[in-house]
Amino acid sequence: MRTRFVLAAPAGLVCVAVAGCGSEPFEAGVVKRADSAAVEALVHEARGGPLVVNVWATWCEPCVAETPELVAFHQSKMRGNAVFLSFSIDMPEHVDTRLPRFMEEQGIPFTVHALDGVPPDELVEALGITLEEWDGALPATFVFDAEGRLVSSWYEEVSADDLLGALSGLV
């Protein structure tokens, strides 16, 4: 099941104009529900290149605060071929309402995968990390190298510069 909506005009125009943002032209602003199998498939598909994963929710204040930074990161040309996966753990009743509304307000241009019954145990397993490395506190952002090794992680607000800096070390 998916929820589509039209991006707020200014953000959408910026997104179209900025190279790198257009890498997912038909997925921009989409919420997709993702069960454990879907999460595993997404991570598997992203392997072979750098991968940035952000886990967040609209009810999480620091997650909301870092959103413009993640949008800036996603739009940056310096992101190169790094795949960005956004996993939301918004409550099921908010996935079709509050979450798309928030994305529209913030001009989020990327696909947000709303986790559907995926506990942290299964998410960390799909990411190839352990509960000792991350046990569920939000926000959480991870950078993996092409071999799937965790190279950087943040359990507080992250900036576009933090992420680009981590990726630059992988080149």
Q: Which of 8, 18, 38, 60 binds other proteins (CB under 8 A)?
A: 60
| For residue 139, cis peptide bond before it (omega within 30 degrees of 0) | yes
Interface residue with other proteins, options 27, 155, 162, 164 (CB under 8 A)? 155
| DSSP strand pairing (150-154 vs 140-144) | antiparallel
- Under the binding rule (CB under 8 A), the answer on residue 117 touching other proteins is yes
Among 7, 28, 51, 57, binds other proteins (CB under 8 A): 57
- The span from the CA of 24 to the CA of 86, in Å, is 13
The answer to whether 164 contacts other proteins (rule: CB under 8 A) is: no
> Is residue 65 within a helix (H) or strand (E), and if so which, with residue range?
helix 61-75
Binding-site member from 81, 91, 149, 168 for other proteins (CB under 8 A): 91
* Nearest distance from C-beta of residue 1 to other proteins, angstroms: 14
- Using the rule CB under 8 A, which residue among 48, 121, 165, 168 binds other proteins? 121
- Measure Cα distances from 137 to 23, 53, 56, 73, 81 in Å: 30, 14, 9, 22, 28
| Helix, strand, or coil (residue 142) | strand
Note the residues at the interface with other proteins (CB under 8 A). 57, 59-62, 89, 91-92, 117-121, 123-124, 131, 134-138, 155-156
